[in-house]
Every structure is written in structure tokens, then in C-alpha cells.
Structure 1
Amino acid sequence: MFTGISLLTLISFYLLYSTSKKMSAVGNLGFEKSIGEHEKASKYIGLALMILSLGLSCFYWGIGSGTFTFFIILMTIASLVILLAPLRLLNYTFLILTFTCSFIFEVLLF
């Protein structure tokens, strides 16, 4: 569940980050051009996914600790996206490897 919430948060933040005017146009994942063409829809989808991940974390951990955990996840993922996207280190292989390892650790440890 933690991996799914983190993945939803990453997707939603990346959608919102890609629609920002200050973001340099970096085509790491290949769908940034589509996000730029459909900016308003991308913002709505990003906000909906962000609210969904907040709701899932509140459902999973409770209202207080779920909100706190969501904001910790959001700060961590936002920092990683802002640091790694301009360096072109945020690509499909990195994301698949990271979330696969996270899912394996989640299943084995919890």
C-alpha cells in the first residue's frame, strides 16, 4: 500500500510539475509534450490523483498520521523530482527499478 500511495503521489506531482511555467522542458519520460498540450486537464488529473493518494493514506494510517505521512511522502518525492528531472535521471528504468525494489521490500518486511 505504501508503494502504491508513493507511486500515485509521484505521478500527481510530476503532472503538476510538468504544467509549471518555471519548469525547463525536459523530455525524460516522453509524455511531457502531451502534458503541455493538455495543460488544464493535466492539472485537474494531477490534483485528483493527489487528493486520491491523500485519501488512501488517511484510510490506511488514520486521519492524523495519514495526513502527516502523506506530506512526508510528498516532500520526499517532490525533492527527488525537482533534483533528478533536470539531470535527466528520472526515466522509466529508474522508476521501475525503484518501485519494484520498494514493493519487494514492502511485501517481505511488512
Structure 2
Amino acid sequence: MVTLTVILVAIGFYFFYQTSERAYPSRTLRVERWMYMKQQPAKSLGAICLITAIFPAIAHWGAVAGVLFFLVTLMTVGSLIVLLTPLRIIGYRSLAVVALVSLLIEITF
């Protein structure tokens, strides 16, 4: 549940980040080009991801703690995206590997 929530928050925030006017679009990936060209559907998908991310947190920890976890995750992931995306330090493959390992650890233990 934790990994799913963090992944959904990251995807939702990244959609909003790429559609902002201040973000410099790299347009190297087809998804990033689509987000740049079709901003309204991208913002809608980002909102759907963020709204969907709050439900597993509430189901796992309860109403207040789930919302608090969602907000803390949103702030943490958001600051990491704003800081690291322009620097191109972390790629999509490394993020996918980290998410997969985290999901496997969460399921195993």
C-alpha cells in the first residue's frame, strides 16, 4: 500500500510539474511531449492519480493518519521532483527499479 501510494503521488505530481509554465520540458520521451502538447488532459490525469493515491493511504492507516501520510508524501516527492528533474540525475529506469524493489520488499515482509 505504501509503495502504491508513493508511486501514484509521484506520477500525479510529475504530470502537474510537466504542465506548469515554469518547468523546462525536455521532450525526450513521448509521454513528456504529450504532456507538453496536451496540458488539460495531462492535468486531469495528474489529478486523478493524486485523488486515487489518497484512498490506499486512508484504507491502510485510517482517515487522519492516511491524509497526513498523503500530505507528507506529496511534499517529499514534490520537492524531490522539483529539485532533481531539471538536473537529470535520476532516470526512469532507475526509478522503476527502486519502485519494483520497494514493492517486492513490501510484499515479502
Confirm or deny a common fold (TM above 0.5).
yes
2:15 is aligned to 15
* Alignment partners' CA distance in 2, 1:5 and 1:57: 7
* TM-score normalised by the chain length of structure 1: 0.89
* Alignment partners' CA distance in 1, 2:76 and 2:23: 18
Residues 29, 85 of structure 1: alpha-carbon distance in 2 compared, 3 angstrom cutoff: farther
Gaps of 5+ in 1: none
1:39-58 C-alpha deviation (Å, 9 max, x unpaired): 00111110111011012211
Structure 1 residue identity aligned to 2:58: C
- Identity level (%): 29
Kindly state the Cα deviation for residue 98 of structure 1 after the two structures are TM-superposed. 1.2
1:73 is aligned to 73
Kindly state the Cα deviation for residue 32 of structure 1 after the two structures are TM-superposed. 1.0
Kindly state the Cα deviation for residue 72 of structure 1 after the two structures are TM-superposed. 1.1
8 A contact 2:25–2:36 mirrored in 1? no
8 A contact 2:18–2:36 mirrored in 1? yes
Structure 2 residue identity aligned to 1:80: L
8 A contact 1:18–1:32 mirrored in 2? yes
2:39 is aligned to 39
4+ aligned runs moved over 2 Å, structure 1: 26-30
Structure 1 residue identity aligned to 2:16: L
* Alignment partners' CA distance in 2, 1:64 and 1:17: 27
* Alignment partners' CA distance in 1, 2:28 and 2:108: 31
Kindly state the Cα deviation for residue 28 of structure 1 after the two structures are TM-superposed. 5.9
Residues 4, 29 of structure 1: alpha-carbon distance in 2 compared, 3 angstrom cutoff: farther
* TM-score normalised by the chain length of structure 2: 0.90
* 3-state SS in 1 of match to 2:81: helix
Structure 1 residue identity aligned to 2:4: G
Structure 2 residue identity aligned to 1:9: V
* Alignment partners' CA distance in 1, 2:15 and 2:8: 11
